[in-house]
Chains A and B, each alone.
Chain A
Amino acid sequence: MGFVVSPDALAEDPHFYLDCISCHQGNQNAADKAAAHKGMIKRPSDQPETSCGQCHEAISKTYTLALHYTAAGMKNGVAPRFNAAEKKLFDQKVFEQSCRSCHASCGDCHVQSPVVSGINSGLLDGHRFVKADESKTCALCHGGRVWPEFTGDYTGVPDVHYRKGMTCTDCHSGDQFHGTSGAASGRKDVANRPSCTDCHDIATMGKDSTQETHATHLEHVSCSACHVTSEYRQCSNCHEGSGATAKPGLVLGKSPRNPKELTTLRLIPTVRDTFKHAGVTMSNYDSLPNYWDAVPHNLAKRTDRTRDCNACHVEGAHYLQTSDLPEGLSLKNLELVP
């Protein structure tokens, strides 16, 4: 039923002032299916400027710079591991064919469930154009990590924000996804991304002792290092095409982007031969670590760390240790051990 265009939607949604063919092409007057579908475009919003851009000009222009469209975060995330020749090969053989194919069209957030591993559950609401429907859109592409961490499906404890009825778009705005702050090379570059302190004024909230803890650690420890409540997904042994295996874990270590900060790390292991089957090697493999600073979406007011300062200061609970580092991975990982 998921693909059925509902007559109510056609009557109510302003987008259907247009004929089907103005977005999908094909031949409206043909008598049989094959002829009618000739030249049809299944995913019109993959070329946003010529489709949606007719009316949503600004969004469609900036969107072509957004990470969801360029997938530049994934590309730049491994680029330093290659030398120039390898990089070229990677861009052609792996990135364009494999990584970029999971980028999002406008329709993946607004019209239909995205196709993930060849499966899709169809139109969101009889082809209505919706502002957001997170459980049928974000949840599918971010179903490996963020979504199940947030709802508690992964480890049983839902994020405090989910418990309060908040969903993804209560923190992540349309502007962030439409690329209105310009081209970005990775997610830390997105100027209008959310930050915990947009909503929480740590100078005034909570008891005196809470304010003191927050003030002391502001420069040294990320919010998530204390407030992530349970283990989150750590991947290992990632091979292009076959994916990675995953197990839960909570890992605290130095942020690869700011060694002065202790934060939550996630293992996203490009192994040495990840791209081997595409014939691409990584001469500079050890220039990047395999652990990255992450903001796992399963936060709570109280955790083993907020309850007991000694969890960090005496026991070093969850701290990354040299002996935990998976064998054969980047030597750079050693620098993240607190």
Chain B
Amino acid sequence: MKKLALLLVLAALVAPAFARDVDAIVSADWLEANLGNERLVVLDVRKMDDYKAGHVPGAVNAMGLYMAKNDLSNEVPDAEDLSDILAESGIDANSIVVVVETDGARFTWATRVAWTLVYAGVPNVAVLDGGYAAWTKAGKGVATGFESKDETEFQVSFNAAYFADKAYVLKNLKKAQILDVRAYDTYFGLAKAAFVAQFGHIPGATSLPAAWITADGMVKPKAELEAMVKALKLSASKETIIHCDSGVLATTWWWILTQQLGWTKVRSYDGSAQDISKDPAVKFVKLTWK
């Protein structure tokens, strides 16, 4: 009896923490083939005018999934508002959601939305590779105007383990594996965004630029992404915190590591450098030529 219990525990440990019914990144062909799936919600997050001018047939539009709050540029909306937006888009916890952004250049905004959804308790979310541009380039069908789906009763239930706030980062500064996904120049302290208070990076952070994920706007093959992480000697078993300047870029590697490569201990730091660089207790380090 004891043995069986142990086996069950082991099985639980080996199985991924989530059961995905869809790949983390899907192609235009996949999407076209699955448009008939009743669980599918195509979530177009482009500007309303662009959406109305042409979108994936059946897609609904949603805006306001990230917003400026408490002096930070990109934050998660309040639970009630996020529940409304998702419910009105016809999404519930059982949905398979495909996020559609403009193109590969907006991949970071697509993962920002995708992260927000899984954080809010919708596990089966995918990003359309190459965005709407890839859809039209492949000559797929297009619908115009405004479409809607039946509203659901969905209420968000946040997955605290996907999210890092400043208190968490400060507490785990020494222990955690911190990944800085900004461009090299920013990491090294040669450049910085105006809204970030310090040049350089959090002490001990490893640079893993978001720009490495895509080539020509398309996500690189899984094996290649895996190889990068391996080459940097990053460990899937360590507590990991990903950050960038304002919490958007960070979600790219969060998406790849957790949803594609199966890492389970990764948090995205929403406030990112914009938040922590204001804390005098954290002294960013710059590259020196000595």
A residues neighboring B (CB under 8 Å): 135, 151-152, 155-158, 162-163, 165, 167, 230, 300-302
14 contacting pairs across A/B (C-beta < 8 A): A151-B48, A155-B68, A156-B67, A156-B68, A156-B73, A157-B64, A158-B64, A162-B63, A163-B62, A163-B63, A163-B64, A165-B148, A230-B68, A302-B81
User: In the assembled complex, which residues on chain B have CB atoms less than 8 Å from the CB atom of A156?
Assistant: 66-68, 73
Chain B binding surface SS class: mixed
Q: Is the CB of B48 within 8 A of A162?
A: yes
Q: Is the CB of A152 within 8 A of B81?
A: no
Q: Is the CB of B49 within 8 A of A158?
A: no
Chain A binding surface SS class: loop
* Count of inter-chain pairs, beta carbons less than 8 A: 38
B residues neighboring A (CB under 8 Å): 47-49, 52, 61-64, 66-68, 73, 78, 80-81, 84-85, 146, 148
A301 to B83, CA, bound (A): 13
Q: Is the CB of B49 within 8 A of A135?
A: yes
Q: Is the CB of A165 within 8 A of B61?
A: yes
A167 to B51, CA, bound (A): 13
Q: Is the CB of A158 within 8 A of B81?
A: no
Among B47, B67, B146, point to the contact of A157 (Cβ < 8 A).
B67
User: In the assembled complex, which residues on chain A have CB atoms less than 8 Å from the CB atom of B78?
Assistant: 302
A158 to B45, CA, bound (A): 12
A230 to B69, CA, bound (A): 10
Among B62, B67, B73, B80, point to the contact of A302 (Cβ < 8 A).
B80
Among A151, A300, A302, point to the contact of B47 (Cβ < 8 A).
A151
Shortest Cβ distance from A300 into B: residue: B81
User: In the assembled complex, which residues on chain A have CB atoms less than 8 Å from the CB atom of B68?
Assistant: 155-157, 230
User: In the assembled complex, which residues on chain A have CB atoms less than 8 Å from the CB atom of B64?
Assistant: 152, 157-158, 163
Among B47, B52, B66, B67, point to the contact of A165 (Cβ < 8 A).
B52
Q: Is the CB of B146 within 8 A of A165?
A: yes
A156 to B72, CA, bound (A): 12
Q: Is the CB of B63 within 8 A of A158?
A: yes
Among A155, A158, A165, A301, find the residue whose CB has the most chain B CB atoms closer than 10 A. Answer: A165
Also in contact, A301 and B84, with CB within 8 A (given A151-B47, A157-B64)? yes
User: In the assembled complex, which residues on chain A have CB atoms less than 8 Å from the CB atom of B146?
Assistant: 165
| Least Cβ–Cβ distance between B204 and chain A, in angstroms | 32
A158 to B62, CA, bound (A): 10
Interface contacts beyond A151-B48, A151-B49, A230-B68: sample of 6 additional A-B pairs, CB < 8 Å, sorted by A: A152-B64, A156-B66, A158-B48, A163-B62, A163-B63, A165-B61
Which 9 residue pairs are nearest across A and B when measured between Cβ atoms? A165-B146, A158-B63, A156-B68, A135-B49, A156-B67, A157-B67, A163-B63, A158-B64, A157-B64
Among A152, A167, A230, point to the contact of B63 (Cβ < 8 A).
A152
User: In the assembled complex, which residues on chain B have CB atoms less than 8 Å from the CB atom of A163?
Assistant: 48, 61-64, 85
A157 to B68, CA, bound (A): 8
A165 to B89, CA, bound (A): 12
| Least Cβ–Cβ distance between B14 and chain A, in angstroms | 42
A172 to B140, CA, bound (A): 36
User: In the assembled complex, which residues on chain B have CB atoms less than 8 Å from the CB atom of A151?
Assistant: 47-49
User: In the assembled complex, which residues on chain A have CB atoms less than 8 Å from the CB atom of B47?
Assistant: 151
Among B62, B63, B66, B68, find the residue whose CB has the most chain A CB atoms closer than 10 A. Answer: B63
A158 to B65, CA, bound (A): 10
A2 to B23, CA, bound (A): 42
A148 to B67, CA, bound (A): 15
A152 to B74, CA, bound (A): 13
User: In the assembled complex, which residues on chain B have CB atoms less than 8 Å from the CB atom of A165?
Assistant: 48, 52, 61, 146, 148
| Least Cβ–Cβ distance between A308 and chain B, in angstroms | 12
A64 to B138, CA, bound (A): 50
User: In the assembled complex, which residues on chain A have CB atoms less than 8 Å from the CB atom of B62?
Assistant: 163
| Least Cβ–Cβ distance between B44 and chain A, in angstroms | 12
Shortest Cβ distance from A231 into B: residue: B68
Shortest Cβ distance from B74 into A: residue: A156
User: In the assembled complex, which residues on chain A have CB atoms less than 8 Å from the CB atom of B84?
Assistant: 301
A278 to B25, CA, bound (A): 62
| Least Cβ–Cβ distance between B270 and chain A, in angstroms | 15
A243 to B77, CA, bound (A): 35
Shortest Cβ distance from B75 into A: residue: A156
Among B48, B52, B67, find the residue whose CB has the most chain A CB atoms closer than 10 A. Answer: B48
A157 to B63, CA, bound (A): 8
| Least Cβ–Cβ distance between B83 and chain A, in angstroms | 11
User: In the assembled complex, which residues on chain B have CB atoms less than 8 Å from the CB atom of A155?
Assistant: 68
A135 to B64, CA, bound (A): 19
| Least Cβ–Cβ distance between B104 and chain A, in angstroms | 22
A302 to B62, CA, bound (A): 17
